[in-house]
């Protein structure tokens, strides 16, 4: 029996029922894929159901105010993804869902992974889908020492992933590859004895089982000091756009944030009001209340917003923490 047939047979008997797995609707698949890039399957389920209850079609998402979309995204982080989701929904609502990888990748926020996932799961286009689970499985099964985080190296795994789906329904094969990586060929202590492909795996019984996939070296942690200037007037607060320049925060690019200055420092500051960590950035925040009569902003550079309003356009925990501190 071919390796792909063995994999599919195992998958039929062992797959987990997930709300997005039963659907061939490109909209639902797309939403689930973007959410799954943020967090785990278990954590995504309630967000996914709530989001689709509110925005049940791509047209409803396209026509909704951005503030509503961000509100329903709240808790998942990476708000730029929600913004791209909204933008792409508006592009799709005009022409309908593109059905091929080549067309999907032209949409806002569609990277190679998302475009392939939608093309395969919704339209069975014979393209392989390379997520962390599949990278782990393919690296071990084929004993490939590939620096998967580099595009040129990742392309080697993409060739393998594409080969696996040829001659089969790519929807089933890709789902099965993801499943075997998520449940059998797991990161720590892979369950080789329960693996349906143990007999043909090039790594089983060798150190490669633990050495592969190659590990990307972690980014060095950065320490940032952010002084935020709180100007308030009749229950409203001044917010400015975090435009990339030398004093801007390295995260929340182009989001509306408190005015102030941010700088990278070499050690943890002696005084600060609260700390916030985002990816490899440790941000130490000091809060300074300012006299709003002294505020000097150009009209177009500032938005005076109530707490409930800023929560709609930038519902990140960094903003919320500052309010809790105030
Ligand atoms: S035999 Fe082990 S290492 Fe090989 S694919 Fe299966 S679980 Fe992964």
Minimum CA distance residue for ligand 1 atom 8: 185
Same-fold call for 3-211 versus 222-325: no
Domain boundaries, given as residue ranges, for the chain: 3-211, 222-325
Query: What pLDDT shows up at residue 160?
Result: 97
Average pLDDT over residues 128-145: 97
Q: Is 212 in the pocket of ligand 1 (CB under 6 A)?
A: no
Q: Is 110 in the pocket of ligand 1 (CB under 6 A)?
A: no
Write out the DSSP string of 1-33. Answer: --HHHHHHHHHHHHPPP-TTTS---HHHHHHHH
Write out the DSSP string of 45-104. Answer: HHHHHHHHHHS-SHHHHHHS-HHHHHHHHTTS--HHHHHHHHHHHHHHHHH----SHHHH
Given a cut of 80, is residue 1 above it in pLDDT?
no
Query: What pLDDT shows up at residue 20?
Result: 83
pLDDT tens digits along 73-111: 988 877 888 999 999 999 999 888 999 999 999 998 899
Q: Is 0.95 topped by the overall pTM? A: no
Strands 260-265 and 222-233: antiparallel
Yes or no: domain 222-325 corresponds to CATH 3.90.79.10 = yes
Minimum CA distance residue for ligand 1 atom 2: 192
CATH ID of 3-211, from 1.10.10.60, 1.10.287.620, 1.10.340.30, 1.20.58.1290: 1.10.340.30
Given a cut of 80, is residue 299 above it in pLDDT?
no
pLDDT tens digits along 4-31: 999 999 999 999 988 888 889 999 999 9
Q: Is 138 in the pocket of ligand 1 (CB under 6 A)?
A: no
**How far is it between the farthest Cα atoms of the chain?**
78
Given a cut of 70, is residue 119 above it in pLDDT?
yes
Q: Is 213 in the pocket of ligand 1 (CB under 6 A)?
A: no
- Catalytic machinery residues: 33
Ligand 1 mutation target, pool 188, 192, 194, 205, most atoms within 8 A of CB: 192
Measure the CA–CA gap between 13 and 10, rounded to whole angstroms. Answer: 5
């Amino acid at each position: 029996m071919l390796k792909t047939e063995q994999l599919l047979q195992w998958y039929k008997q062992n797959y987990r029922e997930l709300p997005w797995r039963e659907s061939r609707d490109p909209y639902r698949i797309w939403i689930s894929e973007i959410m799954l890039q943020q967090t785990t399957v278990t954590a995504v389920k309630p967000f996914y159901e709530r989001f689709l209850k509110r925005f049940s079609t791509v047209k409803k998402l396209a026509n909704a105010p951005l503030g509503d979309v961000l509100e329903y995204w709240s808790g998942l982080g990476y708000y730029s993804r929600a913004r791209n989701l909204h933008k792409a929904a508006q592009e799709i609502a005009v022409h309908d869902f593109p059905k091929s990888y080549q067309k999907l990748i032209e949409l806002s926020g569609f990277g190679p992974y998302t475009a392939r996932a939608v093309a395969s799961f919704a339209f069975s286009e014979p393209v392989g889908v390379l997520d962390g689970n599949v990278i782990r499985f393919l690296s071990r099964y084929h004993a490939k020492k590939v620096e998967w985080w580099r595009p040129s190296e990742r392309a080697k795994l993409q060739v393998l992933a594409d080969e696996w789906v040829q001659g089969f329904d790519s929807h089933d094969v890709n789902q099965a590859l993801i499943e075997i990586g998520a449940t059998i060929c797991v990161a720590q202590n892979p369950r080789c004895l329960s693996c349906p492909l143990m007999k043909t795996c090039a790594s089983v019984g060798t150190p490669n089982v633990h050495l592969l996939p190659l590990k990307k070296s972690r980014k060095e942690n950065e320490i940032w000091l952010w002084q935020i200037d709180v100007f308030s007037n009749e229950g409203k607060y001044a917010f400015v756009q975090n435009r990339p320049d030398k004093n801007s925060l390295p995260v929340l690019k182009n989001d509306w944030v408190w005015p102030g200055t941010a700088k990278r420092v070499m050690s943890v500051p002696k005084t600060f009001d609260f700390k916030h960590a985002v990816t490899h950035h440790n941000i130490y925040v000091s809060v300074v209340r300012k006299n709003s009569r002294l505020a000097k902003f150009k009209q177009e550079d500032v938005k005076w917003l109530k707490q409930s309003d800023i929560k709609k356009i930038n519902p990140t925990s960094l903003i919320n923490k500052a309010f809790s501190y105030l």
